Structure 1
Amino acid sequence: MTILSPGRPLDSLTSSPRVGPLGRLARVTFRRRGRTVLAWLAALVIAVLLSMTMGGDFKADYSAPGSDSKEAQTLLEDRFPSQAGDTVDVVVRADGGVQDQQQAIEDLLADLGSVAHVEAVSDPFQDPAGISQDGTTALAHVRLDVENPVDMPREDSEQMLEIADDASSDGFQVGLGGQTIVQAEQGEIGSEGLGLAAAAIILLIMFGSLVAAGLPIVMAVAGLAVSSTLTTVVISFVDAPDWSTSLATMMGIGIGIDYALLMVTRFREWRAAGLDTEAATVATLDTAGRSVMVAGTTVVISMLGLFAMGLSFMRGAAVVTILGVLIVMLASVTLFPALLGYLGKHVDRLRLPVGRGHTVVVAEGGHVEPSAAWLGWSRVVERHRIVAAVVGVAILLALALPFLDVRFGFPDAGNNREETSSRQAYDTLADGFGAGMNGPLLLVAEVPDGTSAGALDQISAAVAETSGVAAVAPPTLNPEGDTAVVTVVPTTGPQDAETVDLVNTLRDDVLPRATDGTGVTVHVGGVTATSIDSSDNIAKRLPLLIGGVVLLSMLLLVASFRSIAVAVKAAVMNLLSVAAAYGVVALVLQGGWAGQLIGIDTPTPLPAFVPVLMFAVLFGLSMDYEVFLVARMREVWLRTRNNEQAILGGLAGTGRVITAAAAIMVAVFAAFVPSPDVVLKVIGVGMAAAIFIDATVVRLLLVPAVMHLLGRANWWMPASLGRVLPELHVEGHPEDHLPARAV
């Protein structure tokens, strides 16, 4: 065993290494690095031009296709456009009574009416339901000419908030509610910048060199610049929610840096083994590059699973994220080797007094030996394999337990920060009019010709007599007289289980009886009903997502590693990892000590689409670390045919990379946590927790322990299946690139 310095030539190298497609591509881009960099700059310019000429706007429909609430929404948009536009609730509380402040309230409403995109403002003094019974609270509605809150310019919403703030004083409180106001209050927090800064620090600690740490950052930023610019073009063809760009950005930064981190580490090893810069670049892409392609493909497969949900906003989020992943993969195999052409010789230059370089030990034949510390950990897991497996499973199950008590639903203004206008409006409205005023139901009735005048009154009376109904507004007909809207105020809030029961009772019992023989068809809609239908719809489709993603990923792993056990083990471990992350999310949503750490101080429901999205993303990312780890194990297995040595060498050889990659991904997703948007905050917590759990408990403890228990069965596959599946050689042919002997 000998120690070599980076770049030191060996006296004898293999004469003609087998080089795969990625290696050949790396050689081309390395030699034509100038053209490659210019091509990426040209791609960015083209993306910018396309964005300027074809860019679209974010929009999302969270309703469930074919549901009762969707039918109600469609009817409103087609026949009752005056009821379909977005609204802002104006809630005024006057300690001395609103009647004494009538002039001040009318002046306030006049000022709000002068804001752009305001179509009409209701008068609470002319509305029987506009003033609370105790006379201290008034409610007015500002109707906008935009149907989707994202279409409302932020500056106009902020102007409305300024008007409300200026009008407020001691004893006279004004709050504005509605999704338009919530979006204006959320603002921007620069999560991407926080994630990049954290990643840079971790890379510096790991490599101790500005050049080595800078390569992953440059590659990730280049891919992000192109993908984020093209996103505006993509959303002109598909509907995507505004948060999808944040998710895609974080994914692009995280996996881009992780993939480059793996390749920089392998490049330095090849240089230490004696290869020159070009040969080391080719060898890196021919080995680690294959792992990157398989890992990226598993992420794409996982995101494709979102199409099985049948929801337009899920498809849009998947397309935007997949675009980012594919461009990062392209940058990994083209731009990265080109950058090595410029910086490869200087990869260890500009060292900083942080972190510490580690001496690379090369064994006979040129194989890089893993560090002593990670080799020691590998042997600890080997000696205590049963204990490690039991402890690992116990930790994951304990973390998953809180998910059994999770409440599904959509967070509303009642879960916002107390200092926000939307939260104040929510609380004031609940105190003055009852909790149900924050989530009224909209009954949308199709009224055929010849319907008796009393039919709608009969329906309203039946609804009013239903348990759980606080008030029913008189029916409002559209100008054509073929559609009516009835507003129903429940006695309970939009997140209460009693409200769900009321919606089901109206649909299954009250409305069918009340409309029998009238010819009238009534649909229950509104935000609350839409939330209920969406949660039910997603719950029904979730098995399709899980089954499809798991099966496709297992097939890819079987083809990659020629092993049934590796694929099954990876699927089970990843499911346990995701379940543990769900448990962490459920714990913080309870609003206790864990929730208060991240700014959630009230019990908050979990939107049903969040665990679906988390599953798709986390299953793909978990497979990334599985591929990194098992590819190195298989490399040793093919060289030695010794299972114990393969597991020890694989874990010790990738432990440092997986730990650093996970730390980067945790930091990137943790940048979501400061967001005032509860959904983004929850996604950040769940993703960060899952990556941490997966990279520590699963990859560095549970996976090697189970593989030690399975023994040589880890590498078994039926001969008949082996003949059918393609041979991917995900580990490459490292022996062909290694020196013939070390000196």
Structure 2
Amino acid sequence: MTTKYSPPPAGTADAEAPAAPPARGPAGLAGLARALVRRRMPVFLVIAALSLAAALFGAGAADDLSSGGYTASGSESARAERILTERFGAGSPNMVLLASDDRPADDAAAAGAGRELTRRIGSLDGVGYATSYWTSGDPALRSEDGRSALILVRLSGDESEATHRAGELSAELTGEQGPFTVTATGRAVINDALERQSAEDLTKAELIGAPLTLIILLVAFGSLVASLLPLLVGVVSVVCTLAVLRLLAGFTDVSLFAMNVTTALGFGLAVDYSLFVVTRYREELERGRDVLEAVTESLRTAGRTVLFSALTVVLSLAALLVFPMMFLRSLAYAGIAVVSLAALTSLVILPPVLAVIGRRIDRLDVFGRWRRKPSAGDAPRGLWHALATGVMRRPVAAGGAVAVLLIALALPFGHARFGLTDDRILPQGAPAQAAAEAIRTGFAGAGTDPVTVVLPDLPRDGREARLTAYLAELSRTEGTVRVDGPLGSWAKGERVAPAGPASAAFADAGGVWLSVVADVGPNSAAGERHTERVRAVAPPAEALVGGEAAALIDTKEALGDRIPYAAAIIALSMLVLLFLFTGSLVVPLQALVLNTLSLTASFGAMVYVFQDGHLKWLVGDFITTGQLEVTVPVLMFCVAFGLSMDYTVFLLSRIREEYLATGDNTRAVVFGIDHTGRLITAAALVVATVLGALATSELSLLKLLGAGLALAVLVDATLVRGILVPAVMKVCGRANWWAPEPLRRLHARIGLRDG
């Protein structure tokens, strides 16, 4: 639609006047549309060939993805783990075997079989070391009822190699092994189970999300032909997404959850962007344009907004790059690529397809007899018009009530507790989870996740004297059960076991490492406090403290240090982009505040449902741990904020279009809400459905991400866009469009606008 700029009425203050629209620049998108239409057959062939190549290349993407990556790289705990692996071939066991028998573990026959099983495991390829109750005599590795014992295994290689080997060994070593029934758990085994479950859940989510999306599009469009176009673009986007993930995995570690999250995000946004372009195309046809003009105008107007909206999501995801966690950084890389791909596929595929379909876009209109087709310029004046008009009459009361409600929904987040993922991310009763639970309940102080202390530069000269004092002091720290090292084992300040053959593994020519077994779980507040006490003990040389609790401490610290930078990236980029889009300084500030408010319900629900365990039936059963994975709130904020800003751009494009044409703020806001309400609702339902399908996962982390993001999108599309935005813009009036004169002139030269 061609818009006109009407100068403000005489006497209007210059500061309150709407900014003059920038001069029309080269019609780049319009030219692209015409070129794609003219060469539509070669375009179809290229798209088909690229999609087929992407499908073939991306088919093996899951095999190249990595599990883990939730902890801060470069931290003290990460350095300790790296040295343990590279220099000592040691570290915390990443595979734990639970061997059970009807006879006591100390029975002579059972003990002999246990030693032989431990020896056999230790000789297998990919095994760094294997120790057990029968080889070490450590009573903590025998169950309290005396009928089970643990075999601790360290698998060699990096996390991906250990995970792959754990899957192979689990199949070989579990089940009946001589007199024992053996089950397996440990970090590598859990990661292997996560990979398998994640792949199953992805298929389930796609089978649920695609049909529901088609139903939503049918309700929104009425026409089956129009509804299938966004699905077509969404499918192409997903196929290309898998290829992008595999390509990225060749250069950097990519989290296995990137497969689930980014395919859902890419499909949802591709459908969204197509929805807006197809809707604009239908509007242009109804205004009497011919097919080529309608395609060109759709890409020039809605296409410009699609590009701008995709840029806002990309910049929100880019904030994740400041964090030193592979899980977050890989999702940023993949998300940026996927969002860009969703916008590109929408803008490249739709013009030639629409040109071929032409006016048959409304064929198979299943709701045609009920759907009223407005004539050109006729306002829809439906539910969203009535809602916006009502809010504009009482903006303070309506906006205030919604703001109070959203803040109240955020209150549970005030008692959020954070940890790292463990076996309880798996469904209850899964083999690795059941084995871990049996160890938690049946063993007292089993050192399966000890605190590790690495002294990389402790010369042999005088080593024993200095190390003896340090071992004694460590063993006296509150919560410490035992300290193992090259000089034997220590407890409560005394040596309780002399050095044995296994003790040599704790030292090399340059340094030593120690294992500090605690009486508390590592993934807990008590475990963090114990690790802090270990770090507080003065070492005889530089000491690096590692282990799961240390990794949790370091990850929290890294997140806290980097969050201000991520927030600054998001805030500054959104302020600049929205200024370029609107010419206002007030509207961008409003958007930042209101988009943040739209996340409050999700953050409160994270704690209320997933930490505290209330209303679990809404998302299916999962194990309540009393804490949240520490990186999830950051990920959810960046993704949800980007999606909220996405809808902000679509709404503001229509509000500003009408304001430039009339100079009437109230009319422009009602017009924008009325003309985008149904469309944004449909788009939000699509994204919420696709992301919400992740909540059907058997993995609690994906449940949390899916449910939280879906809730954020729905709250934003209804309460925020429908009530808070018109209320705030009514209160601000013409001040919405204010900017200092120098910035107004700058915007006149370089500003962006939809059409």
TM-score category (smaller protein): 0.7 to 0.9
Counterpart amino acid of 1:361? Answer: P
The equivalences for 1:143-222 within 5 A come to 143-149=154-160, 152-153=163-164, 157=167, 160=170, 164-165=174-175, 174-186=182-194, 187=197, 188-189=200-201, 190=203, 191-222=205-236
Displacement of 1:616 in angstroms is 1.4
- Structure 2 distance, partners of 1:227, 1:570, is 30
Q: 1:234 to 1:496 in 2, by over 3 A?
A: closer
Q: 1:449 to 1:123 in 2, by over 3 A?
A: closer
The SS at the match of 1:369 is coil
Q: 1:243 to 1:226 in 2, by over 3 A?
A: same
Counterpart amino acid of 1:567? Answer: P
2:563 to 542, 551, 569: 542
Counterpart amino acid of 2:135? Answer: Q
Is residue 611–residue 628 contact of structure 2 (8 Å, CA) maintained in 1?
no
Displacement of 1:145 in angstroms is 3.3
Is residue 469–residue 491 contact of structure 1 (8 Å, CA) maintained in 2?
yes
2:607 to 572, 581, 586: 586
Displacement of 1:607 in angstroms is 2.3
Displacement of 1:285 in angstroms is 1.0
Q: 1:612 to 1:561 in 2, by over 3 A?
A: same
Moved more, 58-67 or 539-548: 58-67
Q: 1:122 to 1:495 in 2, by over 3 A?
A: closer
1:389 and 2:399 are equivalent in the alignment: yes
1:128 and 2:141 are equivalent in the alignment: no
2:38 — aligned with what?
31
1:613 to 625, 635, 642: 635
Displacement of 1:54 in angstroms is 12
2:534 to 506, 512, 517: 506
Moved more, 292-301 or 267-276: 267-276
Is residue 482–residue 517 contact of structure 2 (8 Å, CA) maintained in 1?
yes
1:633 to 640, 645, 655: 655
Is residue 95–residue 152 contact of structure 2 (8 Å, CA) maintained in 1?
yes
1:595 — aligned with what?
616
2:744 — aligned with what?
722
The equivalences for 1:496-535 within 5 A come to 496-508=524-536, 510=537, 512=538, 515=539, 518=540, 520-535=541-556
1:737 — aligned with what?
none
Counterpart amino acid of 1:586? Answer: V
1:419 — aligned with what?
429
Is residue 554–residue 567 contact of structure 1 (8 Å, CA) maintained in 2?
yes
Task: Give deviations 1:151-183, integer Å, cap 9, x for gaps.
Answer: 6338x62762585345699xx764321123223
- Structure 2 distance, partners of 1:531, 1:542, is 16
The SS at the match of 2:253 is coil
2:14 — aligned with what?
none
The equivalences for 1:686-697 within 5 A come to 686-697=708-719
Displacement of 1:457 in angstroms is 3.1
Q: 1:553 to 1:706 in 2, by over 3 A?
A: same
1:564 to 550, 566, 585: 585
Displacement of 1:690 in angstroms is 0.8
Q: 1:274 to 1:114 in 2, by over 3 A?
A: farther
1:252 and 2:279 are equivalent in the alignment: no
Displacement of 1:111 in angstroms is 8.4
1:280 to 288, 294, 303: 294
2:331 to 311, 314, 317: 317
- Structure 1 distance, partners of 2:120, 2:217, is 53
Displacement of 1:623 in angstroms is 0.5
Is residue 389–residue 701 contact of structure 1 (8 Å, CA) maintained in 2?
yes
Counterpart amino acid of 1:358? Answer: R
- Structure 1 distance, partners of 2:289, 2:120, is 73
Q: 1:150 to 1:246 in 2, by over 3 A?
A: farther
The equivalences for 1:74-93 within 5 A come to 74-80=82-88, 82-83=89-90, 87-93=94-100
- Structure 2 distance, partners of 1:370, 1:168, is 76
Task: Give deviations 1:505-534, integer Å, cap 9, x for gaps.
Answer: 2112x2x1xx3xx4x322111222112211
- Structure 2 distance, partners of 1:152, 1:603, is 24
2:318 to 294, 304, 307: 304
Displacement of 1:707 in angstroms is 0.9
2:358 — aligned with what?
344
Moved more, 495-504 or 288-297: 495-504
Task: Give deviations 1:525-576, integer Å, cap 9, x for gaps.
Answer: 1222112211221122111111221111111001101112210110001111
Q: 1:651 to 1:729 in 2, by over 3 A?
A: farther
The SS at the match of 2:452 is strand
Is residue 688–residue 713 contact of structure 2 (8 Å, CA) maintained in 1?
yes
1:709 and 2:731 are equivalent in the alignment: yes
Counterpart amino acid of 2:453? Answer: L
- Structure 1 distance, partners of 2:25, 2:510, is 74
1:484 to 512, 526, 532: 512
Q: Runs of 5+ in structure 2 lacking a partner?
A: 1-23, 487-502
2:418 — aligned with what?
408
1:663 and 2:685 are equivalent in the alignment: yes
Q: 1:699 to 1:162 in 2, by over 3 A?
A: farther
Counterpart amino acid of 1:677? Answer: L
The SS at the match of 1:466 is coil
2:490 — aligned with what?
none
1:736 — aligned with what?
none
Q: 1:320 to 1:357 in 2, by over 3 A?
A: farther
TM-score normalised by length of structure 2: 0.87
The SS at the match of 1:524 is strand
- Structure 2 distance, partners of 1:162, 1:261, is 51
Task: Give deviations 1:671-721, integer Å, cap 9, x for gaps.
Answer: 211223332222112111111111111111111111111111112222211
Moved more, 474-483 or 273-282: 474-483
Q: 1:609 to 1:415 in 2, by over 3 A?
A: closer
1:358 to 350, 371, 380: 371
Q: For the aligned residues, what is the CA RMSD?
A: 2.9
Q: 1:53 to 1:422 in 2, by over 3 A?
A: closer
- Structure 2 distance, partners of 1:628, 1:390, is 24
Q: 1:116 to 1:52 in 2, by over 3 A?
A: farther
Q: 1:112 to 1:395 in 2, by over 3 A?
A: farther
- Structure 2 distance, partners of 1:132, 1:465, is 25
1:573 and 2:594 are equivalent in the alignment: yes
Identity of aligned residues (%): 32
The aligned length equals 702
Q: 1:313 to 1:543 in 2, by over 3 A?
A: same
2:461 — aligned with what?
450
The SS at the match of 1:195 is helix
Displacement of 1:360 in angstroms is 2.2
Is residue 211–residue 349 contact of structure 1 (8 Å, CA) maintained in 2?
yes
1:378 to 388, 405, 414: 388
- Structure 2 distance, partners of 1:416, 1:644, is 52
Counterpart amino acid of 1:153? Answer: H
- Structure 1 distance, partners of 2:120, 2:346, is 55
Moved more, 127-136 or 99-108: 99-108
Counterpart amino acid of 2:577? Answer: L
TM-score normalised by length of structure 1: 0.88
2:15 — aligned with what?
none
Q: 1:596 to 1:111 in 2, by over 3 A?
A: farther
Q: Runs of 5+ in structure 1 lacking a partner?
A: 1-16, 734-743
Moved more, 101-110 or 478-487: 101-110
Counterpart amino acid of 2:40? Answer: R
1:72 to 73, 76, 80: 80
